[in-house]
């Protein structure tokens, strides 16, 4: 077959090109646009932070007229109706309890799920479809509003669908003791008789029966019949009761106390926050595992290692910086969540620092909201000071993430 002749070369022909001046103008405009947007965002951030520092710092470092000096009373004081005495210590302790418990539950579960999804992908076609759908559901859960998780936590963790009793009368308890409590005739000692439950009938009072005192000592009860004179001996009076004395049932909780349903407890709040940040931890851990070169896995498998040995000794140590960074940043997000905790906590009616996982609590965002919503304008500066403390705690968490990432990278190198 005869080929067509080649076109003749024309030295005067040039391909059409876009004007270099137009490209430079477009590049200059785009650069100015990005710089302007970044500058406006930075200006808004600086304005907000400056306003908060201007209102809140005097409570911590004092004013110029009084002399600048650090005052930690705000962080060590309990909530109060007096703005001069109010502090954030109770909310700070509640935040630490909730976030630490949430991290202990979330991080192992999230990392284990990411390892299963990335390192143990099924080879079966139908199982592979289920596997991909599972990943899609996790990605969708990461975008669900946190208030939805609050409603789920309220139904599942706080009330447990009403299947195990109520919050105040749970059907399952560990580490609790019930007592019929009486007040002695001198009104100075509490006398207690063990009870089976909160609804048990008070026993018949008999003189000489052994009872417990509030400090745990055993004493013999002195029951006075109607018309009998009060004893003059102070010690005998302190363990004396009238025959028709009324009792109230009280409950003592041990440090390991546990009940079902969980009620408005630290554990219920932590599990609710786990639902909020778990998809984020899973996705960030998956990305960290994907960043590990496949040649490391192939080399381990080629040397005869099992898949779990490859994960534990090669893949997981290499992905630790990314996993720790994503997990700590997710915990920082959980620390600032207020919407789900507003539903699953006892909100603002707390008077004691949490002492166990079943204790009631409040967190810093809720305390800040209470101060900002108070009709007394003196609490507005307290809200700004609380925001400063919250930002400092978040900065510490983020600094820990950066430190862990740097140290882990050095070990890998």
Lookup: tokens for 303: 């040397």
Return the CATH architecture of domain 77-164+263-412. Orthogonal Bundle (1.10)
What pTM was estimated for this model as a whole?
0.82
Q: How far is CA 372 from CA 8, 103, 236, 286, in A?
A: 82, 29, 54, 40
DSSP 70-105: --THHHHPPP-SSTTT--SHHHHHHHHHHHHHHHHH
What is the domain partition of the chain in residue ranges? 27-56, 77-164+263-412, 173-260
Stretches in the chain below the pLDDT threshold 50: 413
| Residue percentage of the chain with pLDDT more than 70 | 91
Q: Write out pLDDT tens, residues 51-71.
A: 998 888 888 876 555 666 777
Q: Over the range 108-146, which residues count as b (16 or more CB within 10 Å of their CB) and which as e?
A: eebbebbbebbbeeeeeeeeeeebeeebeebeebeeeeb
């Amino acid at each position: 077959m005869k080929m067509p002749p080649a076109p003749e070369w024309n030295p005067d022909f040039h391909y059409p090109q876009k004007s270099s001046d137009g490209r430079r103008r477009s590049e200059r405009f785009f650069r100015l646009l990005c710089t302007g947007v970044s500058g406006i965002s930075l200006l808004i951030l600086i304005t907000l932070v400056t306003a908060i520092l201007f209102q809140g710092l005097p409570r911590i470092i004092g004013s110029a007229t009084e002399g600048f000096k650090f005052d930690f009373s705000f962080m060590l004081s309990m909530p109060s109706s007096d703005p001069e005495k109010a502090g954030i210590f109770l909310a700070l302790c509640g935040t630490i309890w909730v976030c630490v418990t949430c991290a202990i539950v979330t991080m192992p579960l999230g990392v284990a799920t990411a390892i299963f999804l990335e390192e143990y992908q099924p080879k079966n076609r139908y199982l592979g479809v289920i596997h991909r759908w599972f990943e899609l559901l996790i990605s969708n859960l990461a975008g669900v509003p946190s208030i939805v998780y609050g409603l789920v936590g309220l139904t599942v963790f706080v009330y447990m669908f009403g299947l195990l009793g109520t919050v105040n009368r749970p059907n399952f308890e560990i580490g609790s003791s019930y007592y019929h409590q009486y007040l002695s005739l001198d009104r100075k000692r509490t006398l207690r008789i063990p009870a089976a439950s909160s609804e048990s009938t008070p026993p018949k009072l008999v003189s000489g029966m052994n009872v417990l005192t509030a400090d745990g000592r055993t004493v013999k009860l002195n029951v006075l019949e109607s018309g009998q004179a009060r004893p003059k001996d102070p010690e005998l009076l302190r363990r004396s009761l009238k025959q028709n004395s009324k009792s109230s049932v009280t409950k003592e909780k041990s440090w390991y106390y546990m009940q079902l349903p969980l009620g408005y407890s630290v554990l219920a709040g932590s599990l609710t926050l786990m639902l909020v940040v778990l998809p984020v931890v899973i996705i960030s851990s998956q990305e960290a595992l994907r960043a590990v070169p496949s040649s490391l896995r192939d080399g381990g498998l080629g040397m005869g290692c099992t898949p779990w040995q490859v994960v534990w000794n090669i893949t997981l140590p290499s992905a630790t910086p990314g996993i720790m960074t994503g997990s700590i940043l997710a915990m920082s997000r959980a620390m600032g969540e207020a919407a789900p905790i507003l539903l699953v906590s006892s909100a603002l009616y707390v008077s004691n620092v949490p002492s166990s996982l079943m204790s009631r609590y409040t967190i810093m965002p809720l305390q800040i909201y209470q101060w900002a919503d108070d009709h007394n304008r003196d609490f507005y500066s307290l809200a700004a000071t609380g925001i400063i403390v919250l930002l400092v705690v978040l900065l510490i968490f983020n600094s820990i993430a950066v430190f862990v990432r740097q140290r882990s990278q050095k070990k890998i190198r």
